Amino acid sequence: MHHLDHDIDEFDEDYVSKTDVKRYMHELQDLALTIIRLPKAKRNKLPLNEELQDAMVLADKILNKPDALKRHSRFVAKLLTEVDVDVLKAEMDALANKHQQQSKQHEKFELLRDQLLAGGNQEVEDLLAQCAGMERQKLRQLVRQASKEQANNKPSKSNRDLLAYIKAHYQG
């Protein structure tokens, strides 16, 4: 009977296979590219350390050089191993969700505008009851102008004005 001496115990809880390490590094590289491709305004809201911020400055300079960008994303992935990636991902999700909420809010305003244009006087009165800051005369004028433009198939400047007025004053 011969005894094989293994450096790695099969039941070692801390053991991570080479495949798992590679998979994790690929995930970090994908995350790095995602962060690099974010608009600067969003990226600046992320909790990036000084090294990562410096890496982003370089990344912006090489965005249109695919090979260099791929190498740089590997470097950024290595830097990401030193930070709490879960916090970073949560912050990115929050930024994305904020955009979705803004889109839903915009859709709500568009629906209100469409209801005003289709519904007439009762819709105007209902909206005025909901929004104390709106002026009856101004709202009716915008609805009238937008309806007229819509009926004549003209470009809808009043439509945009009405939408902007609803956004500015809606409280609901």
Tell me the per-residue pLDDT of 136-155, one tens digit each, with 9 for 90 and over: 888 888 888 888 887 777 76
Share of the chain above pLDDT 90, in %: 23
**Which residue did the predictor score with more confidence, 95 or 64?**
64
Whether residue 123 is predicted with pLDDT greater than 90 in this model: the reply is: no
Asked whether the predicted pLDDT for residue 57 surpasses 80, the reply is yes
Q: How far apart are CA 131 and CA 169, in angstroms?
A: 7
Q: Which pLDDT does position 109 carry in this prediction?
A: 81
Residues 70, 32, single domain; the answer is: yes
pLDDT on residue 125: 81
Domain that holds residue 23: 18-84
Return the pLDDT at 78.
Answer: 93
Whether 13 is in a domain gets the answer no
Distance separating alpha carbons of residues 92 and 18, to the nearest angstrom: 28
Q: At what angle do helices 50-61 and 18-37 cross, to 10 degrees?
A: 70
Q: Residue 100 falls within a domain, yes or no?
A: no
Whichever domain contains 126, its CATH number is: 1.10.60.30
In this structure, are 128 and 165 located in the same domain? yes
Distance CA 148, CA 91 (A): 45
Tell whether 40 is covered by a domain.
Answer: yes
Whether residue 55 lies inside any domain: the answer is yes
State the pLDDT at residue 130: 79
Number of domains in the chain: 2
Residue 138 backbone dihedrals phi, psi, to 5 degrees = -65, -45
Q: Is residue 11 part of a domain?
A: no
Q: What is the mean pLDDT of residues 45-55?
A: 90
- Is residue 138, in this structure, part of any structural domain at all? yes
Q: Quick check: pTM over 0.85?
A: no
Same domain for 158 and 113, yes or no, is: yes
Question: How far from 57 is each of 77, 141, 156, CA to CA, in Å?
Answer: 15, 50, 42
Q: What is the pLDDT of residue 90?
A: 85
CB 121 within 8 A of CB 115: no
Q: Mean pLDDT over all residues of the chain?
A: 82
Contacts of 130 (CB under 8 A, 6+ apart): 170, 171, 172
- Residue range 150-169: mean pLDDT, rounded: 79
